[in-house]
């Protein structure tokens, strides 16, 4: 289901988006994969590892430099037969501008208000992409046909080594064995169009070399880069950054500004496309919502300039992670599908299609997004957990009627585990395997649940790593899937379609354990017991310590809500009291749900256009935000008791060794 554009946004639906060893460092190394022991053992399949060694020897490039660049380009994955959005191939992500490109999903024509076609110059500044490592130039250096470098990992790695060696010679530098001598050649590799982006890229590579990394690729190759503590990134620089004075970004990102309009239209009968506010003075910013565009960036940059459309705070380009801001952080964008969440959140769009993750969800996009989120989380003191950093597909539905229309991006192929590694807040076990709370945490590269609908309705998707874990009514894969009465109010059953969230949970989400049986674990999910396969030799969840809520003694069940509204007495006489509208899910006596946040009921009347922010109505009613199902929800604090987690149990509660990620 692609994001759809609304021709008009009324005050009633303005909140609903219709367009559809750990070391934290500035370079955002993936800390979970570090191997500092110096003895990784013999990998089961080292063909790709041997390819890096052979290519490094052939072209006199330090192997750590070649592997570090490849890690930044692709995390050593080859995505066999699947080019990226710019036509990048193989472990070195070499770009063939003349080769096949991924098929793009259909999208709305690029139009501005009034139906006029936009001039190409309108968005050219934000769409110009750097000239990435060129596959055909690499093929020429090797004397091989371009097709070989597209389809043969060994040739692709050799091509990357040849390009690095050629850059080093062009710089007039020796083909040294010292990685430190190669910083400038590495900075040139992606073809960045400004010094800041180039320096940030090189520093990422050298941080990987410094810390080391280990993972199993999408092709089953076990690859290890041992840490080299003598290699350090350069000091951060902002020299030459094409940076707008209006952009609110960390200094290591070269950010642009393309303003979303706050104007009236239709002769003053409507306005768009965001709301003035004074955050965090008038209301805290509690959440960061991760979206994907479900459209090429060109279309989205036209959409953001249309007052009759929705809005968001930042767009991030797939090819190189370029960041463009559209709405000031103090103001509330219309991005989440919930006016309540909009008022408390920052929305970040990532160019991509959830059905085509290998073509669009690039490493540079992940990394620059994580840089931005770390900066925002620090600025507004937002906790780095999955009840505060969540997807559009996790946003609580404000009302029962809105549930079927809520969006499902960034989807099951967004790598939450990797993303939180980059945030410096790795998802990991915090309790033993028999704990009463679990964190969903499948081994992404090797966890490939069946999905349909990536290419056409009902057609099986190609096997792919996933953050999603599927839920059943009984501990058997032959049992029916868990049903979602809100998403399927007509009684239809949950499916394995890539867009159907009705019976799945996602990496980093935490749930109270309801039962265990052999290789199966049951959790409390939307008021029911939901089972998922969780074998000890390949766990899809780990033990966790977390606060939970349960209905107070004497209450048979407790209502769940999609927004935390103030009590009736809090509304001024000139503001209509809002209907609480409980969701079609309840918490029954004895059930428990994880909470990581307590919020105050608030409401903002967004019905009129004005030159100053509308006042925030604040009640005395308190709510707990809970992980109710795949989406979040709220329960009244007066309805529940809070259960504190047991004390940490020492070494047995520590995170188990990560495998393959």
Question: Each residue of 441-461: pLDDT tens digit?
Answer: 999 988 999 999 999 999 999
The rounded mean pLDDT for the chain is 87
Rounded to an integer, the average pLDDT of 115-140 is 58
Percent of residues, the chain, with pLDDT higher than 90: 75
Nearest one of 503, 511, 506 to 483, comparing CA atoms: 503
Size (the chain), residues: 661
Give the residue with greater pLDDT, 86 vs 127: 86
Predicted pLDDT at 45: 82
Of residues 195 and 527, more confidently modeled = 527
Instruction: Flag the least confident range among 220-229, 236-245, 375-384, 648-657.
Output: 648-657
Element (H, E) at 159: helix 153-170
Radius of gyration in angstroms for the set of CA atoms belonging to the chain, rounded to a whole number: 25
pLDDT at residue 343 in the model = 98
Average pLDDT (616-628) is 98
Q: What is the pLDDT of residue 308?
A: 96
Residue 266 tokens, joined: 């239709």
Is this prediction's pTM over 0.85? yes
Task: Please check the confidence at residue 325 and state whether its pLDDT lies above 60.
Answer: yes
Task: Note whether 411 and 292 are within 8 A (CB).
Answer: yes
Q: Where are the alpha helices (DSSP H) in 304-436?
A: 339-343, 357-360, 363-380, 416-422
* Nearest-10 Cα torsion for 221, 227, 230, 231: 40
Read off φ and ψ for residue 640, nearest 5 degrees: -130, 155
Query: Which residues face 469 on adjacent strands?
Result: 505
Domain extent listing, the chain: 1-20+240-426, 31-97+134-225, 550-643
Identify the weakest region by mean pLDDT among 66-75, 245-254, 608-617, 636-645: 245-254
Q: Which helix (H) or strand (E) holds 66?
A: helix 63-74
Instruction: Read off the pLDDT of each residue in 319-346 and give the average, rounded to a whole number.
Output: 96
Q: Can you give the pLDDT at residue 243?
A: 67
Q: What is the pLDDT of residue 628?
A: 98
Residue 356's CB is within 10 A of a number of other CB atoms, namely: 19
Answer for the pair 38, 26: CB distance below 8 angstroms, yes or no. no
Residue-level pLDDT at 13: 36
Judged against a pLDDT cut of 50, whether residue 393 lies above it is answered with yes
Distances (CA, A) of 79 to 292, 363, 426, 466, 642: 20, 13, 25, 14, 46
| Mean pLDDT on 460-477 | 96
Q: Are 434 and 543 in contact (CB under 8 A)?
A: yes
Q: What is the arithmetic mean of pLDDT over 202-213? A: 95
> Residues 609-622: what's their mean pLDDT?
96
- Decide: 164 and 56 in contact? Cβ < 8 Å: no
Domain spanning 1-20+240-426, CATH class: alpha beta
pLDDT at 128 over 80: no
DSSP H or E segment with residue 586: strand 586-588
Chain centroid to CA 493: how far? 28
Q: What is the mean pLDDT of residues 233-246?
A: 68
Q: How far apart are CA 323 and CA 328, in angstroms?
A: 14
Asked if the model's pLDDT at residue 121 lies above 70, the reply is no
Could you tell me the CA-to-CA distances from 47 to 53, 98, 153, 363, 396 in Å, in that order?
10, 29, 10, 23, 46
Confidence class for position 491, pLDDT limits 50, 70, 90? confident
Q: How confident is the model at residue 194 (pLDDT cuts 50, 70, 90)?
A: confident
- pLDDT mean over 511-532: 98
Q: What is the pLDDT of residue 86?
A: 81
The reply to whether 31-97+134-225 shares the fold of 1-20+240-426 is: no
15 pLDDT above the threshold of 60: no
Q: Contact 362/318 with Cβ under 8 angstroms?
A: yes
Is residue 503 within 8 Å of 531, Cβ to Cβ?
Answer: no
Residue 242's pLDDT band (cuts 50, 70, 90): low
Nearest of 627, 514, 635, 619 to residue 572 by alpha carbon: 619
3-class secondary-structure state, position 647: coil
Buried b (16+ CB within 10 A) or exposed e, 65-94: bbbbbbbbbbbbbbbeebbbbbbbbbbbbb
pLDDT score for 180: 95
Q: How confident is the model at residue 219 (pLDDT cuts 50, 70, 90)?
A: confident
The DSSP-derived string for 272-288 is ESEE---TTTSS---EE
pLDDT classification of 102: cutoffs 50, 70, 90: low
With cut-offs at 50, 70 and 90, classify the pLDDT of residue 359: confident
- The CATH T-level fold of domain 31-97+134-225 is Lysozyme (1.10.530)
Give the long-range contacts of residues 484-488, CB within 8 A, separation 24 or more: 484/526, 484/629, 485/584, 485/585, 486/397, 486/400, 486/403, 486/404, 486/583, 486/584, 486/585, 487/403, 487/404, 488/404
DSSP 8-state assignment for residue 7: S
pLDDT at 197: 85
């Amino acid at each position: 289901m692609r994001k759809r554009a609304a021709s008009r946004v009324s005050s009633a639906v303005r909140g609903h988006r219709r367009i559809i060893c750990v070391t934290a460092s500035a370079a955002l190394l993936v800390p979970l994969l570090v191997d500092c022991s110096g003895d990784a053992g013999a990998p089961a399949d080292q063909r790709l590892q041997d390819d890096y060694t052979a290519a490094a020897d052939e072209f006199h490039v330090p192997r750590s430099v070649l592997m570090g660049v490849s890690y930044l380009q692709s995390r050593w994955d080859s995505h066999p037969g699947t080019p990226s959005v710019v036509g990048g191939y193989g472990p070195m992500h070499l770009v063939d501008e003349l080769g096949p490109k991924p098929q793009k999903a259909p999208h709305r024509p690029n139009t501005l208000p009034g139906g006029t076609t936009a001039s190409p110059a309108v968005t050219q500044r934000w769409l110009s992409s750097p000239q990435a490592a060129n596959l055909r130039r690499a093929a020429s250096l090797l004397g091989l046909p371009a097709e070989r470098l597209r389809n043969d990992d060994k040739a692709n790695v050799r091509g990357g080594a040849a390009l690095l060696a050629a850059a080093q010679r062009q710089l007039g530098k020796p083909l040294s064995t010292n990685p430190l001598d190669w910083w400038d050649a590495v900075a040139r590799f992606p073809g960045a169009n400004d010094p800041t982006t180039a320096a940030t890229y090189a520093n990422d590579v050298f941080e990987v070399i410094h810390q080391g990394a280990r993972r199993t690729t999408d092709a089953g190759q076990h690859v290890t880069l041992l840490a080299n503590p003598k290699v350090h990134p350069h000091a951060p620089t902002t020299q030459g950054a094409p940076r707008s004075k209006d952009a609110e970004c960390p200094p290591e990102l070269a950010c642009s500004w393309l303003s979303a309009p706050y104007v009236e239209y239709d002769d003053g009968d409507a306005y768009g496309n965001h709301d003035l506010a004074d955050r965090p003075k008038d209301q805290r910013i509690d959440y960061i919502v991760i979206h994907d565009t479900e459209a090429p960036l060109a279309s989205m940059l036209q959409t953001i300039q249309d007052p009759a459309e929705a809005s968001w705070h930042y767009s991030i380009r797939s090819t190189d992670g370029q960041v463009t801001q559209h709405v000031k952080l103090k103001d509330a964008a219309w991005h989440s599908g919930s006016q309540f969440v909009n008022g408390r959140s920052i929305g970040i769009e990532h160019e991509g299609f959830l059905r085509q993750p290998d073509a669009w969800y690039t490493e540079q996009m992940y990394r620059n997004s994580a840089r931005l989120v770390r900066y925002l989380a620090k600025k507004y003191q937002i906790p780095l957990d999955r009840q505060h950093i969540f997807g559009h597909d996790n946003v609580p539905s404000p009302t029962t009627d809105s549930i079927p229309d809520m969006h499902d991006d960034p989807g099951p192929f967004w790598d939450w585990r990797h993303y939180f590694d980059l945030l410096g807040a790795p998802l990991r076990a915090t309790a033993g395997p028999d704990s009463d709370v679990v964190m969903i945490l499948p081994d992404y590269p090797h966890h490939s649940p069946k999905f349909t609908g990536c290419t056409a309705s009902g057609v099986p998707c190609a096997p792919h790593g996933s953050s999603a874990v599927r839920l059943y009514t009984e501990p058997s894969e032959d049992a029916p899937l868990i049903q979602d009465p809100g998403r399927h109010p007509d009684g239809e059953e949950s499916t394995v379609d890539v867009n159907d969230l009705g019976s799945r949970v996602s990496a980093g989400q935490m749930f109270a354990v309801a039962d265990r049986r052999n290789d199966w674990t049951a959790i409390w999910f939307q008021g029911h017991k939901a089972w998922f396969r969780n074998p000890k030799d390949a766990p899809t969840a780990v033990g966790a310590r977390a606060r939970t809520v349960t209905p107070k003694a004497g209450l048979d069940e407790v209502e769940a809500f999609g927004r935390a509204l103030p009590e009736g007495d809090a509304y001024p006489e000139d503001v209509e009291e809002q209907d609480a509208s409980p969701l079609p899910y309840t918490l029954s006596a004895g059930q428990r749900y994880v909470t990581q946040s307590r919020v105050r009921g608030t409401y903002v009347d967004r019905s009129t256009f004005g030159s100053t922010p509308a006042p925030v109505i604040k009640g005395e009613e308190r709510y707990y935000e809970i992980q109710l199902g795949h989406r979040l929800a709220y329960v009244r604090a007066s309805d529940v008791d809070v259960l504190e987690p047991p004390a940490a149990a020492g070494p047995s509660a520590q995170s188990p060794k990560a495998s393959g990620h």
